[in-house]
Amino acid sequence: QVQLVESGGGLVQPGGSLRLSCAASGSAFSIYTMAWYRQAPGKQRELVARITSDGRAEYTDSVRGRFTISRDNAKNTVYLQMNSLQPEDTAVYYCNTARNWFPYWGQGTQVTVSS
């Protein structure tokens, strides 16, 4: 059983920054890939970024160069640093991982980019 708790969302102006955090319970955090997804109103949930156990990061094209995913295995936490935020980044952001192919999701944190 894995519990994921996101934090750090909020309202920010275009061009601003936010850092999301996701704290994970359970053991062996360091050996699993962690990911951030987002879901905007009326749209499907999409993968934003993921980071493997050895720190390799992947990004969807729309955020590459603006977002950075990182992890602190000592704290069982994964982060998403979001810079140069745009209105199209507005969404609920979810933390994700999997155990034996079973997906686990956090409750989500709202990010709103608006002037």
Q: Are strands 91-99 and 102-105 parallel, antiparallel or unpaired?
A: antiparallel
Q: What is the per-residue pLDDT for 6?
A: 96
C-alpha span between 57 and 48 (Å, rounded): 11
Mean pLDDT by 10 residues, the chain (115 residues): 94 98 90 96 97 96 98 96 98 95 95 97
30, 73 contact by CB (below 8 A): yes
Q: What is the per-residue pLDDT for 28?
A: 84
